[in-house]
């Protein structure tokens, strides 16, 4: 890349770094993994920077890279859950749930329990504020798929939040 392209990329990176990191966090639920996923997306963008024709579509491209990285990483064997003989200590939950209203921490925990593709749709639709068409473009799928994945994702999130709320209620 020439100096002008490097400068343009650096400006874009500085302007969008935190937003991309935040989106990655909403998708994976871990700030360290979010940093890695955002870095992966920006590296991918940097490799293709000269080929980008529409600079207005950069956010969509980076968002798609992050979503694909989350889904790809969830398929890797070392990310799978492992069974243990002894359960770790669980927090008391004081202050996390008040009268069945999920707080941010509970919502993020519930999102982690939703399958990756459904989680991607929920984050893009309801937390990033994209409409059905823009979400379909970002995920390279049909609008019908976005709608069905959103419905299934909301059902899975409700079930996850219901179990989280039930777990926190005193016996």
pLDDT recorded at residue 147: 95
Last residue of a domain, one of 78, 108, 123: 78
- In 18-164, the DSSP E strands lie at 97-98, 101-102
Whole-Å CA distances, 108 to 25, 137, 164: 9, 25, 11
> Contact, 153 vs 119, CB < 8 A?
yes
pLDDT recorded at residue 121: 94
Look up the domain containing 118 and give its range. Answer: 97-168
Of 9-18, 111-120, 136-145, 162-171, least confident by mean pLDDT is 162-171
pLDDT in tens, 128-164: 889 999 999 999 999 999 999 999 999 999 898 886 5
Last residue of a domain, one of 48, 78, 108: 78
**Same domain for 14 and 72?**
yes
Overall domain count for the chain = 2
> Contact, 139 vs 120, CB < 8 A?
yes
User: Own/partner pairs for 141-144, CB < 8 Å, 24+ apart?
Assistant: none
pLDDT recorded at residue 160: 87
Q: How many residues does the chain have?
A: 171
Task: Give the global pTM.
Answer: 0.55
């Amino acid at each position: 890349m020439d100096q002008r392209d490097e400068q343009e990329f650096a400006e874009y990176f500085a302007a969008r770094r935190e937003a991309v990191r935040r989106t990655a966090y909403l998708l994976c639920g871990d700030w360290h993994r979010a940093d890695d996923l955002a870095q992966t997306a920006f590296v991918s963008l940097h490799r293709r920077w000269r080929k980008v024709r529409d600079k207005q579509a950069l956010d969509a491209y980076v968002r798609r890279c992050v979503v694909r990285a989350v889904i790809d990483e969830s398929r890797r064997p070392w990310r799978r859950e492992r069974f243990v003989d002894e359960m770790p200590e669980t927090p008391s939950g004081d202050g996390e749930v008040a009268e069945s209203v999920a707080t941010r921490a509970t919502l993020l925990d519930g999102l982690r329990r939703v399958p990756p593709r459904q989680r991607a749709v929920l984050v893009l639709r309801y937390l990033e504020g994209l409409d059905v068409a823009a979400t379909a473009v970002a995920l390279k799928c049909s609008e019908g798929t976005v709608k069905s994945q959103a419905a299934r994702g909301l059902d899975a999130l409700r079930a996850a939040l219901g179990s989280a709320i039930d777990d926190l209620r005193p016996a």
